Amino acid sequence: MVLAAYAPVVQRLRDAECGVVIVSTSSAAYAARFVSRLGFASPGTMVHDGKRATHRALGLRSSVYASLVMPFRRHLKTFGTRAVREALRVSLVNATAGHGSSWQQGGTFVLHHAEAHTGEVRCGWAWREEYPGDWRPVEQVLAEGLGIQGVSPISYQERLA
């Protein structure tokens, strides 16, 4: 889960006056339960977009193939069969009413306001996932997207544990 990887850098983001917005396709009730069970503080504010208008506007993919087949092809060597099977099990168990779209791919975007949080908003950096777990390393997002240098690599495997 990519949110876990951002927990160690929350203060660096705050120091850079960077807010994090998480767009959820689930219901508000499901999202609240999800956040309450994270085991760490959410790195940002969660907003709800059950109709996925934000995802369409940002050009994010929605694909059954990318969601079911690509994780096996891409993550088997990295995480092993046990982890990939567990991810599939969790995906199927969580596919309940209010869960949102299981096939929607996400992304990471750095948005800039033209004038002190007013006026035009432009996208300064973007990463669109091709499949679940196609995450850009946090230290690269901070360096490339925000100009925050010197962030130590954060292991997704360790954070997922």
The DSSP letter of residue 121 is E
Which pLDDT belongs to residue 84?
66
pLDDT of 145 > 90? The answer is yes
CB under 8 Å to 49, separation ≥6 — which residues?
23, 24, 25, 55
Which pLDDT belongs to residue 27?
84
**Chain segment 112-123, per-residue pLDDT in tens:** 887 766 678 889
Of 25-29, 57-61, 63-67, 96-100, least confident by mean pLDDT is 96-100
DSSP letter at 50 equals T
pLDDT of residue 95: 60
Mean pLDDT of 7-24: 88
Q: What is the pLDDT of residue 143?
A: 95
